[in-house]
Structure 1
C-alpha cells in the first residue's frame, strides 16, 4: 500500500526544491503505524516556499483520517466556541459592507466553511444570519454537526458543485493540508461571487512566535503529519493575488500558535467599454 506521493517540484511554482530538514512525527497525537515515522521538508529554490517532500495518497489520507483530534468533532461548550469565532464573523460582515448590507437582500448570504471540523464556525455564522454550510472529509465530524441540526456535507471541496455563487468561503487551517493549494484557490474563485470574501487562517512561518518556537526547538508544525506546507505571509499574499484575490484585512488570532488570518476579496470583473 503506497501511502505517499513524491512532489516532483515545488507545488506552488514548479521550480526545484532543496532539502530543508527532517522531523520526527511519532510524537504527534494522530501518528500510528503504518504512517511514516518522519517528515522530510523542502525549500523551493525559486519562490522560497516550504513544503513536504511527499504528500498523502488516497490510501494515506484514509490512514491519517482513521483518527481525529477531539477539537475536530462537535461538542464542548458551545458558548465558548461562539466567542472564539464571533470576531471572524464580525470582520467578515464588516468587509462585506456591514450587517445591513448582508441582511437586506432577498436571500440569506451563503457561507461555505471548508474543513469545518467541529462545526463551531458554521453554527456561529448561522447566528449572525448566514446560510452556513460545512464541508469536511471526516464522516464522523459531518454526522455530529448534522445531528445538531446544522448543514454539513462529507465532500471533497474540489468536487463541490453549486447552483449559485456564494458570498463567503472560509478555509480555517485548511490550505496547508491541501497538496496543491493553488487549485483550491482557483476553485474558491469559481464558487465565490464577484466581491465575495475568502477567509483563510494558517500558521505564518515569518511570524515572531514561529521564530521563537524555532529558536527554542519547540515548533510543533514541523512534525504536523496533516500539513504539507508552511506558508509565509508574503508567499500567501502573492498566491492570492495570482488567483484574483485582494487582501482587505489581516488579523492575528489565538486558536493555534503562530497563526495569521487573512480576509481577501474576489476582484470584480473589469467593465466593458
Structure 2
C-alpha cells in the first residue's frame, strides 16, 4: 500500500470529534459527581513569594478556554506585588483541568498552533547569541511537543537539544526527532541527575504553570554548568493590558497559570540564587494577540457551548446555529483586533506599557 493509502486508512479509522467527546463524557461526569472542592487546596493567607499577609483580590474569572466548571481567584500581595491563584489547584485539580488541553482531545489543535510559530521560536533562540553563540547542550523545560527545539536548531545547528515536560509531550518530541532526549516528570525531582550537564536551560512560558517557582529556579541552577545560561520568558503581570482587558486578557489563562511574577521580583530571586541577569527584554517577547484573543474569548463566552465532554449533553441544532451565527458576526471585530495588534500596537508595545511578556537571560556564576 502506498504512503497516501496508509494515511487515508488511518484517517478512516480515527474517531470523529463527536465520537471522542461521547467516549470521554462518562469519565468527566463521574469526576464532577463529587463536586469541585477536592480540586482546590485550602486558601492561603500569606504570599507564596515573600510571606507577607497583606493580600488583595485582583481577578475573579472562569475557565474561558475549555469552559470546564469552576471559579478561580487571583490574589495580589500588596508588599511585593506577586499575583497568584488562591485557592490553588490541588494535584487532582491540575490533572482535571489540564486533561484534554495539551493532549487527548486538544492535542491536534494545540500541536498545530505550536508548530506554526517557527519564527517566534527562532527569535527566542537568537536571544542567547550575544552571550553564548555556540552552546553544546540545551535543556528546554516545559518543552511541550518540542517545536521550540526543532526551530532552535536553525539558530544553533551544533547544539544538542533535550526536552523535559510533565506530560507525554516530551516523549512524543523524542519519537518525532525534535529532541535528542525527552524526559517526562518534575524538573526539581530530575535535576540532581542533570547536575552541571547543560550549557543552557530554557523555560519559555513554563514558570507560571509551576506550583513552586522557587524550586524550579533552584533546579535550573543545579542543572547548569558554571557559566551556563538560563532563559526565562513569562507573562508580564504589570502589562497595562492586564488591567484594561481584565478577565479577557489571554495570559491570565485560568486555571492553568498559578503564579505571575513581576520582573523585579524575578531578577532579585535569580541574583539571590547565584545568577547574574545579563539581559531583560520586553519588546521582543511580546506576542501581538491581545485584542484578537480578548475579542475571541468574549465572543466564545456568550455563544452557546460547543460539544464538550464535561457537559451533560451536546448542543442541539438551534444552539449550533446560534453559535455559528454569533461567531460569524464577530469576524469584523476579530479582523480589527488582529490589525491593531500587529500593525498599530506591536511597534509601540513597550513604550505603551502593554507588552504581555518579558524575558530574562541570566548567567550562572
State the TM-score, normalizing by the size of structure 2.
0.62
Whichever of the two has the greater Rg, that structure is: 2
Where does the alignment leave 5 or more consecutive residues of structure 1 unmatched? 103-108, 268-273
Q: Does 1:162 align with 2:194?
A: yes
Q: Does 1:10 align with 2:47?
A: yes
SS of structure 2 residue aligned to 1:190: helix
Q: Distance in 1 between matches of 2:231 and 2:205?
A: 10
Q: Which residue of 2 aligns with 1:142?
A: 170
Q: Does 1:241 align with 2:277?
A: no
1:62 shift after superposition: 1.4
Give the alignment of 1:63-212 within 5 angstroms.
Answer: 63-69=96-102, 74-75=111-112, 80-96=116-132, 98-99=133-134, 102=135, 109-127=136-154, 128=156, 129-139=158-168, 141-149=169-177, 150=179, 151-160=181-190, 161-162=193-194, 164-212=196-244
Q: Distance in 2 between matches of 1:4 and 1:144?
A: 30
Judging by fraction of residues, say which structure has more helix. Answer: 2
1:126-147 Cα offsets, whole Å, 9 max, x none, are 34221111111222x2343123
CA RMSD between the two structures: 2.5
Q: Which residue of 2 aligns with 1:38?
A: 71
Q: Which residue of 1 aligns with 2:363?
A: 265
Give the alignment of 1:246-257 within 5 angstroms.
Answer: 246-251=276-281, 252=283, 253-255=285-287, 257=290
SS of structure 2 residue aligned to 1:261: strand
Q: Distance in 1 between matches of 2:259 and 2:131?
A: 27
Q: Distance in 2 between matches of 1:138 and 1:72?
A: 16
Q: Which residue of 2 aligns with 1:105?
A: none
- Which of residues 220, 243, 260 in structure 1 aligns to 2:250? 220
State the TM-score, normalizing by the size of structure 1.
0.81
Q: Which residue of 2 aligns with 1:49?
A: 82
Q: Distance in 1 between matches of 2:87 and 2:108?
A: 26
1:22 shift after superposition: 4.0
SS of structure 1 residue aligned to 2:117: helix
SS of structure 1 residue aligned to 2:38: coil
The 1:202/1:169 distance shift into structure 2, 3 A limit, reads: same
> Which deviates the most, 203-212 or 174-183?
203-212
Where does the alignment leave 5 or more consecutive residues of structure 2 unmatched? 1-36, 291-355
Q: Distance in 1 between matches of 2:203 and 2:109?
A: 14
Q: Which residue of 1 aligns with 2:321?
A: none
Judging by fraction of residues, say which structure has more strand. Answer: 1
